[in-house]
Structure 1
Amino acid sequence: MATAITISLSSLGLIVLARWGCCLAANTAFFFRRSGVRRYLEVKPNPGAGAKESWALITGSGAGLGRALAFELAGWGFNIVLHGSNAAKLEAVKAELRAAHPSRSVRTLVLDARIGGQLHGADLEAKLNAAVKSLDDIHIRILINNVGMPQARPEVRPPFDALDTFTYDELLINVAGNAVFPMLLTRALYPQLIRNQPALVINMGSLAAEGFPLFPSYGPSKAFLMASTAELRLENRIEDRDIEVLGIDVVGVTGTDTIKDDPNLMLPDAPTYAKYVVRSIGCGHARVTPYLPHAIFLWVIRTLPSWISDTVKANMLKGLRVEAVAKLKTANSSQ
């Protein structure tokens, strides 16, 4: 009996180790692969029209990671549509982008990501249809849903906090910007992406989607976005569409509106992270963590027993809230 139990446990251990080994080999290979982004640069003529150059639309590209992704894709040869709600900020980035890449064309799309929580029915439909119609003359082949709205501005209040500290409107608008808007914009732009196949949709996720506390609206919104990624990817298979859908698990990036710390191993700057995102294109996976230190961290979090993982998550966010409160007090006292 004891021998049988020993053999069974040993076999189970070998199976687990073999599975981990296969995952490790596959993930290691991923970090040394070349990007498949060039596939979306191929110029093909539309029926009854001449050939058109490829364009990429990046939401929330007035600053931070969105801006970095715009510069990265322009460097690969894409024309760029910059999206945001601040026209002046977009025009400034447009000027910088054209100066850095004079052979590339750049447009701006001013559209408030909160519209899903502000407009309804015919008004919402008219707003979205007008936005995509303004882009109907170009060949959009990449859509990156990067826009991300923090739960609160760190200079005003701690961005990590409990559900009952937020107003109803704060929660609604945050979900509208982070979950509803990407879905609506993808829907509005999808006829163009179908027409311009092969095409690509990238949805930018977040560590908060792993069930970290003090993210009552932001975390669930990003989890929704990742579920939408998986759904749309398989939907394209059913409909026989050549549209790649890729989810990116973002752990942390500095050089954004909300994180301005110095870069370090676990906190790369936006231009660095943008290169890893683009390198992951064409990997064949539905969801990836493109930056190796982040991938290791998430693997540990997902592998630990739940009682240990929950303790790590709770302590981490509790500490971050204390740190945010201290920074806010220091900033207010110095004014």
Structure 2
Amino acid sequence: MKTVSVLIAGGGTAGHIEPALATADALRRLNPNIRITALGTARGLETTLIPERGYELVLVPAVPLPRKPSKDLLLLPFRLWKSIRATRAIIEERQVDVVVGFGGYVCLPAYLAARRRVPVVVHEANARAGIANKIGARFAAAVVAAVPGSGLRSAKVIGIPVRRSISILDRAGLRAEARKFFGLDPDAPTLLVYGGSQGAVRINDSVLAAAPELAAAGVGVLHAFGKKNSFEAPTNPGPAYVAVAYLDRMDMAYAAADLTLGRSGALTVAELGAVGMPAVYVPLPHGNGEQRLNASAQVAAGSAIIIDDAELTRESVVAQVLPLLTDPAKREAMAAAATASPTGRADAVLATIVANLGAEHAAGRGEGT
């Protein structure tokens, strides 16, 4: 039997990378002999996250897609061709049998390099598809999406692949260990503040301004402020306020917290749904509105509320977030209402699709390994 070779494209932010890695893990569980190569660029978090998880990362030139007329727009065709050419060389060198993409800068050249050569699988995590996935879906062998209405016709809705440490997390059983891990108060209601892998300045500033009121109410805080931001944790009397640049152990963070305040990126929404975590979402104020749509199902179910970015201030944190932390009955009701999409099995579903297409292609090529 020929070895199946898979090229996974999903770089830039953790929202693209983590579903890609969850799928890679599921492929390895399905077939330990499968060959997996991750495609990325030098400008994204993949340069750290992917090698840490034990996967080979190969880099191609980044191709940002300008949204306004600029010099970058004029250079786009040259940059795109350069990246496509580099990706084709990788496909040939590694005898790739299937390309699976998760959105982001690296996906468009990956899709175009694979076209008419190897099958393409597109996964769309957001409620509204991005440009790269819209293009890739036109000629993909399989298209899957996290939720209905992504804009990709004929997409099979499977949810978002989530790493097993999250999808099978026992929050209650791990809570004491998790709070000790971060140095949090073992008994205080705890707020997790997470503005995505890059952090969020407005969220940082608003929660920091409300820190005295949180401390006075007996609330602990675990605050991931982002590697690009500077932040100094307050020292108000009361439960610990722990500030970290980046959370390497999201499973521990979810286990330690009672409520999350943060952006509503597709991955964050999926993970919070999977673990049954009540949430206060602050959607990004720009883009095509996908972050508000990402959170809409949980808001409708009663497991989350939304505060607009422009409305997030010290006052709104005190008036809307603090009462949820100090009302155990309300938190429990929100947790009970937390409904996950098919997140718990999305990794296995997608891995099976990818493996089957790869095996078909491998069987049709020349002598393999």
TM over 0.5: no
Structure with bigger helix share is: 1
Coarse TM-score class (shorter-chain normalised): 0.3 to 0.5
